[in-house]
Amino acid sequence: MRFPSAFVGASAFLGLARAICFFPEPADQICYNANGATPQNLDVREVAFIARYLRAYQTQAVSQGLSPFWRMPLPDADNCAEWQVTTKGGTWALAKLVGDDAAAVTFNDIANTIDGGATGAQVDQSLTHCGTAGGQMGVIVNATDPLYSSAEFVDGGYTNQGIVIKLVHAPSDKLINQIQAI
């Protein structure tokens, strides 16, 4: 589905988002205020927090000898599954595997996909550019990051392509209850 709605978020939350992906979603930046989309009414402070949190998480993980990667292995992530990366308040960051191979990206790269990093040009290329509407796009990968040459990444058989990040609003309790009743 090209543009998520509250149902997509709820179905991902409830584990119902598995389906056959006949038309993978593009890696291009899609803001949910585009024609035919559903604006998510996100709190930009929550979006900024999520990016900061992901950077801090990677720093802490590396210092503790844990993985710096968000991994989407097959077959677990196959068939359009959308996984919750993290949340803050009513904002969800979701990841979706749209490629045919197991993929992994650093938490820093997810953060940069969300907020772009430092310069105005980088921000324009990130999901922060979508503002309160939210959006989706493929992970902006820093291919020169030595972590992508690490044994964990190489021996794991991962690619750093094929993960789409989505910023959506959490579904309402009413919608979750309706879905659970089905």
Question: What tokens appear for 146 in the block?
Answer: 């030595």
pLDDT attached to residue 75: 84
For 87-122, the pLDDT digits (tens) are: 999 999 999 998 889 999 999 999 999 999 877 788
- Please enumerate in sequence order all residues whose Cβ is within 8 A of that of 114, keeping only pairs 6 or more positions apart, or say none: 47, 50, 51, 54, 93, 126, 127, 128, 165, 167
Instruction: Domain ranges for the chain, please list them.
Output: 6-180
- pLDDT of 173 higher than 80: no
Least confident of 2-11, 15-24, 55-64: 2-11
- Please enumerate in sequence order all residues whose Cβ is within 8 A of that of 88, keeping only pairs 6 or more positions apart, or say none: 46, 47, 49, 50, 53
Quote the pTM value: 0.84
Count CB neighbours of 102 within 10 A.
19
Residue 72 bridge partners (DSSP): 103
For 44-53, the pLDDT digits (tens) are: 999 999 999 9
Question: Which of 2 and 152 is assigned the larger pLDDT?
Answer: 152
- pLDDT of 19 higher than 70: no
